[in-house]
Structure 1
Amino acid sequence: MSNFRYKPERIICMTEESVEFLHAIGRSDLIAGVSVYAKRPAEVSQHPVISSFTHANLKKIQKIKPDLVIGFSDIQKDIARDLIAEGIEVYISNQRSIDEIFRYMWMLGHMIGEAEKTNTYLRVLEEKIATAKTFAKAMKKRPKVYIEEWDEPQICGIRWFSELVSLCGGVDIFEAKSLDGIKASDRFVTNTDVGLANPDIILASWCGKKVDIQSIKDRAELKDCSAVRNNTIYELEPEIFLQPGPALFVDGIDRLIDLFSSYNSK
């Protein structure tokens, strides 16, 4: 029994948040493969690419012989099914809220036997949240914010994005949809909806493609809204705001505080 491996030693990460987390707690040595979309941290390029978000190279994964494959959301359910059919152990998380993201990181850290490092790291992220709350409390003006996750069809922000905006002092104009919408289709909105809500700021982060800010300005229903008139439309990096992991707190909070500070200084 002395040679039995109780903890995984070869982990394949099919989305970015697990990669960044393992690097952050000093266990990047466990990573045996990553998604082509993984951009954080910069050292991610040292790991072999084995998947996109909706497809994975099954033969390449089998050759690696991982102890564990980690994925995210129901969108990866077909990949998980195929891997399980080949006898590969799979963990698919489905976190949507900030609380669930912390629970996910806690679970992953404990799964690999790094409870102390994980708890220390989570305390650092909790301090970032405390900083955001302090900033929000001191704000003179809370901007109304429209979060756009996709343009055709228009999809408002996923729950963790909405919660982060609120945490930093913004008011998400579609908060109810973001909090209740599990599927992307639950978060469909129209330009008419956006125009009537008259956001002060538009935060666009289109997963998989660059945001066309001019196309947003050209939408007839938005021509009179404050964000268009004041040119407060911003592209935010999907690798920070559309991944349910450390990046939201490490860099996302600072980015939102900068934007909301600029709004309050006018």
Structure 2
Amino acid sequence: MGPKRIVCLTEEPTETLYLLGEQQRIVGISGFTVRPPAARKEKPKVSAFTSAKIEKILALKPDLAIGFSDMQADIAAELVRAGVEVWISNHRSVDGILEYIRRLGALVGVADRAEALAADLQRELDRVVEQTAGYQRRPKVYFEEWDDPLITGIQWVAELVRIAGGDDVFPERAERALAMGRILGDPTEVIRAAPDIIIGSWCGKKFRPEHVKARAGWGSIPAVAQGELHEIKSPIILQPGPAALTDGLEALQAIVKRWVEKHGAA
């Protein structure tokens, strides 16, 4: 039932299908896939994020390709013109991730399993909310997706920061779907926001806290002055799939919890 030969152009459909026990349907994956580790060993890599090996994908004879966001529009168009059915999701929130899991499960005929997975993830989110509800003081958090130009965190990241017990310092930007809407043209905005914690997740490269400290005027930011500069690897927080709601949230919660305990705000 449903598509039997799926090409996953990003990591989240791969991870979700493995969690649903439907990995046998996957015939190709993104080269950026790291979750689950087995996928990198078992499945051929046929795409990056904004580019793909179209001929290699077509040779796999897929009956569905799954991607994410407007950034993959060109890949999708080329596959559609070649006769491949394509689903490009564009979810940007925690609720959107949960709904994505349900929709993907229904698409491959395992709606009950997908609903159970989404319910388990929701229960864990609710548990964390209960744990952090008693914090007497919530740290202000600046989440940086990229350093040149400065790009702030996307919506699901800002929501996870709140669930973990902190408050994103640029919530209005988080609601902007496109990355260009989250660019900080003026780095002094971060200085004025005075975050207690800075978290870097520079997609595809290592976060360099020494570079953050060296930015003009940033030494006065509480997070910089107090050494609260942290990295969360992008595969567990910037992929709009299960990883963000599990390992990503766990990493956020650990950072916030340490800050709360350090400042006697638990």
1:91 corresponding residue in structure 2: 87
Q: Percent identity?
A: 40
Give the CA deviation at 1:168.
1.4
Distance (Å, rounded) in 2 between the aligned partners of 1:39 and 1:218: 32
Distance (Å, rounded) in 2 between the aligned partners of 1:124 and 1:176: 29
Distance (Å, rounded) in 2 between the aligned partners of 1:54 and 1:62: 17
Moved more, 169-178 or 135-144: 135-144
Matched letter for residue 235 of structure 2? E
1:106 matched to 2:138 = no
Give the CA deviation at 1:210.
1.2
Matched letter for residue 139 of structure 1? Y
Give the CA deviation at 1:249.
1.3
Secondary structure class of the residue paired with 2:66: strand
**Paired residue total:** 260
2:181 corresponding residue in structure 1: 186
2:17 corresponding residue in structure 1: 22
What TM-score does the superposition give when structure 1 sets the normalisation length? Answer: 0.96
Q: Find 1:117's aligned residue among 108, 113, 118.
A: 113
2:218 corresponding residue in structure 1: 222
Q: Deviations over 1:140-178 (max 9, x none)?
A: 220000010111110100111111101111111101111
Segments of 4+ moved more than 2 angstroms: none
2:32 corresponding residue in structure 1: 37
Q: Deviations over 1:212-248 (max 9, x none)?
A: 1110011122111111011111111100111000001
What TM-score does the superposition give when structure 2 sets the normalisation length? Answer: 0.96
Distance (Å, rounded) in 1 between the aligned partners of 2:180 and 2:75: 22
Q: Find 2:197's aligned residue among 185, 193, 201.
A: 201
Alpha-carbon contact 1:240-1:247 (below 8 Å) kept: yes
List gaps (5 residues or longer) in structure 1: 1-5
Alignment of 1:1-266 (within 5 A): 6-45=1-40, 46-179=42-175, 181-189=176-184, 190-266=186-262
Matched letter for residue 81 of structure 2? A
Secondary structure class of the residue paired with 1:69: strand
Matched letter for residue 149 of structure 2? P
Matched letter for residue 228 of structure 2? T
Secondary structure class of the residue paired with 2:217: helix
Secondary structure class of the residue paired with 2:206: coil
Distance (Å, rounded) in 1 between the aligned partners of 2:39 and 2:139: 35
Give the CA deviation at 1:58.
0.8
Alpha-carbon contact 1:128-1:253 (below 8 Å) kept: no
List gaps (5 residues or longer) in structure 2: none
CA RMSD of aligned residues (A): 0.9
Alpha-carbon contact 1:20-1:246 (below 8 Å) kept: yes
